[in-house]
Structure 1
Amino acid sequence: MRLMGLDYGDKTIGVAISDELGWTAQGVETIRRTNRKADMKRLGELIREHQVEEIVVGLPKNMNGTIGPRGELSMEFAEQLQNTFKLPVHLWDERLTSIAAERTLLEADVSRKKRKQVIDKMAAMLILQGYMDSKKRR
């Protein structure tokens, strides 16, 4: 069963897909957001292409665990995904995933320009991998 992980932002949506066994997540692309209709169209294409059965959306929480305005937008987005694609959508605490992605890219000595191109896709990969790892532990 393939899962899709999404890092939903103001300007981009990072996309990651799991392998068929749900063990590893791979970054697929970063969608440059234009409008909801175009965003959903591209996500639908990826869902069909990769035969996705479930979606995991990063939920940005404040460090104290509360949900702020950015988290509320992610929750609305998750609800829209569920209504549009009729697939299970899970919210996953994404605190520090972008920081972890940035650190990994810095350690790999990736240039600033390249980091900007892959950071959202990598954050989506970390969100999805974290979700899958937690399911394995249960």
Structure 2
Amino acid sequence: MRVMGLDIGKKTIGVALSDPAGITAQPVTTIKRTTLSKDMEEVLGLAAEHEVTSIVAGLPLNMDGSRSPQTEFVLKFLEKLKERTDMPVKTWDERLSTVAVERLLIEGEMRREKRKEVVDKLAAAYILQGYLDSIRRAG
């Protein structure tokens, strides 16, 4: 059970993968967005290359749980993705994921330029790890 985690933004898509057992998440890459079609090809190409069985994407809700314009943007992207694959595509509440990752990188004294390079794929790993942990807890 290899799961792909996505942190979908307007400029980039952070990508993470679980280990084959579906226990731990590792950051993989950050896709620079171009066109919807090319973005989909890159995501699904990575999924095929790594024998992914399902995809989970962070859902950027407001702190009160309501939807934002970014929530709708992500949901539209995922609807298009679902049209191109038979794999299950799920969402996971990503509130504060990027903030948590940024805080860790700042505490680790990483330079701002380097943080920009890694924050999206680390946020994807953070989202994916939360999802994997919830599956294990549910048993």
State the TM-score, normalizing by the size of structure 2: 0.97
Structure 1 moving runs of 4+ over 6 Å: none
What is aligned with 1:56? 56
Please provide the CA RMSD for this pair: 0.7
**Identity of counterpart residues, as a percentage?**
52
The Cα offsets for residues 26-77 of structure 1, whole Å up to 9 and x where unpaired, read as 0000000000111011112101111001000110000000111110111111
The alignment covers a number of residue pairs equal to 138
What is aligned with 2:47? 47
What is aligned with 2:5? 5
Structure 2 CA distance for aligned equivalents of residues 111 and 134 of structure 1: 32
Q: Does 2:97 correspond to 1:97? A: yes
Tell me the secondary structure at the aligned position of residue 52 of structure 1: coil
Structure 2 CA distance for aligned equivalents of residues 44 and 89 of structure 1: 12
The Cα offsets for residues 84-104 of structure 1, whole Å up to 9 and x where unpaired, read as 121101110000000001011
What is aligned with 1:31? 31
What is aligned with 2:69? 69
Structure 1 stretches of 5 or more lacking a match? none
